[in-house]
Structure 1
Amino acid sequence: MNRTTTGPSTAERMRSTSARATGAVLAIAGSDPTETSLHQLRADGTAVLLAPSDSTAIGLAWQAGAGGLPAVLELTDFAPLALREPVRSLVWLRGTLVAVPDDRARGLADDVAADHPHPALLDVGHGATLLRLRLDSAVVADSSGAEAVTVEDLLAADPDPFWEVETGWLQHLEEDHADLVELLARRLPSALRTGPVRPLGIDRYGIRLRIEGVSGDRDVRMDFTEPVDDAPSLSRSLRILVGCPFVNGLRARH
């Protein structure tokens, strides 16, 4: 019998959500939530954030000084497809928020850009200000429940290698490979097939499906026999999963 994988670790799922999330919300007690235009986890145990210079969060961070103030960053992982319930997971990063001095902002922005360029970095000093969130804890919640990981485990994990192309692949599956999705759906127990089966997520360990049933949604995971690291391997694993080695391969949409 082939041995299947068990899916990404909680820390890996958090890192992938952090990499994918296009926006985040910074919450500080006594103030309205602040939308951030950039967030990046750093190896030093902080998250670098970019917020509007005229926001309450910036003002409170400057007032708090070097000691900082408690804050929570909420990241939302939205499904690439128009699902009935679009949120796949939520991640909460709790820690101490500190302002980045002006004389260090440009150097930090360059460091962030070196890891992963982001157009919002052009706004540093022009209506947007950098902040640091010194991380104390991390929690993720999805359809299976909530789970916490240590900051050390979070920083040691890598995001899924396909996080940047997942959107194109899922859209390609939905629009051009409905036959493959149907083959996957047929492998589910009949008791689960209570409504349309939609692609929900794909990673190096397998594929997730969303069943939009009459009494509510349900997410299921179908694992590959072993983790994959490139597009050809992922395509082969999908064909093996549906039991049809001649199904057209999956290609990323550019």
Structure 2
Amino acid sequence: MTTSNATVTAPTTAERIRSACARGGGAMLAVEGTEPTSTPVHHLLADGSFAITVPANGLLAGMVVASGTAGMQAVLEMTDYAPLPLREPVRSLVWMSGRLRHVPTRDVSAMLDLIAAENPDPALLQVNTGAADAATGDTPYALVRMEVDSVVVADSTGAESVGLGTLLEAEPDPFYALESSWLQHLESAHRDVVDRLADRLPTQLRRGRVRPLGLDRYGVQLRVEDADGDHDVRLPFAKPVDDVTGLSQAIRVLMGCPFLNGLRSRRI
């Protein structure tokens, strides 16, 4: 049975993963026989594989080249951190497992252009640049590709696997690139908004310290830090929103603002 947009109160697991992928953030690539390697760029391609940068002079890059066309088994772990200094900053973990393969030199430039069109990360400029730059400390990177076999995400609600086809069909949240700055702004400059939203929480949770945790087209997430632990609560919008004007109005509805139609919409 098809669910209408009006009844959707939270992003799907696939949408959450796509948003985490689009935001970038911390990620580690784990391969048996070497220490986990930090990956500044881990970009989901249209075919469901991941383009990943690893230190060009590190052990892992050499192992991938030596594995030839067979490749090697690997796990990419992405960590979605809250943009505020919370007591427990990790919002979710995503594990991608699959086969890691070397990207031939002839294909590197085209793949870098493809990645940069969607994610112009400065680390892309350090791919195939040779030795480290002593003046800037920049690390040269090599480009590898992981063909994904399975995807699992875990957060405070538990763990769930997602099919690769479902993941490719999903879209990142339209506000993923602005979420961090908006939440930081709410925390630092609009504590009154957070307090009004906190009034919507169950009475027993209002005794803790309420912090903004997440913001997406479906609603607002709050983190309550209390003596007995942390509690995450989602306040859903009446319907999903797609632009800043709709988002601003939806938040005012949650706050119980009586002047919805009499105020000019403004950025959060």
Aligned equivalent of 1:38 = 41
Residues 4 and 224, structure 1, Cα contact 8 Å, conserved in 2? no
Shift of 1:243: 1.1
Q: How many residues align?
A: 250
Q: CA deviation at 1:121?
A: 0.9
**Counterpart in the other structure of 2:226:** 213
Q: Which amino acid aligns with 1:123?
A: Q
| TM-score, normalising length: structure 2 | 0.90
Aligned-pair CA distance for 1:4: 4.9
Q: Alpha-carbon deviations, 1:146-194, whole Å to 9, x = none?
A: 1110011111111100000001110111111111111111111112224
Aligned to 1:53: 56
Check if 1:228 corresponds to 2:241. Answer: yes
Q: Distance in 1 between the 2:63 and 2:73 partners? A: 11
In structure 2, relative to structure 1, the CA distance for the partners of 1:245 and 1:68 (3 Å cut) is farther
Runs of 4+ in 1 over 3 A off after TM superposition: 245-250
* Alpha-carbon distance between aligned partners in 1 of 2:225 and 2:259, rounded to the nearest angstrom: 28
Identity %: 52
1:250 positional shift = 6.0
Cα distance between partner residues in 1 of 2:103 and 2:7: 46
**Aligned residue identity for 2:29:** L
- Residues 102-124 of structure 1: CA distance to partner in whole angstroms, max 9, x if unpaired? 12111111111122222111011
- How far 1:55 sits from its partner (Å)? 1.7
Gaps of 5+ in 1: none
The AA in structure 1 aligned to 2:148 is L
C-alpha separation in 1, matches of 2:46 and 2:141: 23
In structure 2, C-alpha distance between the alignment counterparts of 1:58 and 1:212, rounded to whole Å: 42
Which residue does the alignment assign to 1:237? Answer: 250
Does the CA contact (< 8 Å) of 1:194 and 1:212 recur in 2? no
1:26 aligns with 2:25: no
Q: Which runs of 5+ in 2 are unaligned?
A: 1-5, 130-139
* Paired position in structure 2 for 1:146: 159
Deviates most, 92-101 or 15-24: 15-24
Q: After superposition, where does 1:173-212 map in structure 2 within 5 Å?
A: 173-212=186-225
